[in-house]
Amino acid sequence: MSYAKELAAAKKAVSLAARLSQKVQKSLSETDIWTKSDSSPVTVADYGSQAIVNLVLEKELHPEPLSLVAEEDSADLRKIGAESVLARITELVKDTLATDESCGASPLSSDDVLSAIDRGKSEGGPKGRHWILDPIGGTRGFIRGEQYAVGLALLVEGKVVLGVMACPRLPLESTAFNIQKSSPGKVGCLFFAAIGSGTYAQSLNGLSPPEKVQVSSVDDPEKATFFESYHTPVPFHSSIAKKLGIKAFPIRVNSQTKYAALSRGDGEVYLRFTRKAESIWNHAAGSVVVSEAGGIVSDAEGNPLDFSKGKYLSYKTGIIATTQKLMPRLLKAVRESMEEEKFNNL
């Protein structure tokens, strides 16, 4: 089945959301950032991005019913004292939509923006169609002026069928470099994939044509590099890398940018082992971008990730993404490391 209409709408929505985020990141102030009840940071860009994606999808896909599973809600924005922040978000959304001729000048009110944000409260599930959105993936990196991503995917009958990711700080040139901070030169990439059609990348500003990308052809683990989140180094990851013979230091970066970089061969392995529940919006777009580029995304036992159980992934122990060539040896290294960890904890 072709998803051309849905893919076009998703590309427009993500591109505009990225445009808003770029504007905010350039002039980020303390009043643009605050802490949610779970102690994680959130910015005006997170809310503005979510509102824009919903508004664009509704306009482009009308009259189809829209189910959106997204990270944010408007509860904090409805509290007394948040009026100035809400006004800023509303202006950001209006100004960004006005930059696109097909959207035109919008008479949006603050209530319209609040409603657009809250339409991301769907629970998803195995039936029907559900859009899955990470409005600003890697908020901590975004705040520091580093890598972040806007990720949007479509789930149909429990399967991810397309994904679009904007990586506004990712250099256009595909090389094996350190992407923890933006490199000089041209930056800003848009990745997109639809099931059975491959993965493509182009400049975020749309000035370059899409080019098909493929995962790395490296088949020697000693020559591979791996990605992990930009947090405290995970000893378990190091154990796996050592068993594979990987000698390069890990590329640490927040957000689904890791999936994007892996899909075009900037590295060969992505490891994510954590005791926390994993939200589907953190992996949905990235999983299809990597798989359509010839890679594999699975849990620690080699099973495909299950996005049909609601807002959280159903998976065994951890998440790994790599190439077809390296997957057998990676799974072996994961199993051995897990057995050693169990023995050491006895």
Here the tokens at position 327 are 């997957």
Tell me which of 43, 90, 96, 139 is the catalytic residue. 139
Residue 12 exposed, middle or buried by CB count within 10 Å (0-12, 13-18, 19+): buried
What's the rounded Cα separation, in Å, for the pair 330 and 267?
14
Residue type, 204: L
What's the rounded Cα separation, in Å, for the pair 346 and 341?
9
C-beta separation of 181 from 217 below 8 A: no
For residue 46, indicate whether it is catalytic. yes
Tell me which of 32, 43, 46, 134 is the catalytic residue. 46
Exposure letters 327-340 (e unless 16+ CB within 10 A, then b) = bebbbebbeebbee
What's the rounded Cα separation, in Å, for the pair 257 and 171?
11
Of 302, 311, 264, which Cα lies nearest the Cα of 283?
A: 311
C-beta separation of 68 from 122 below 8 A: yes
Q: Tell me which residues are annotated as active site.
A: 46, 139
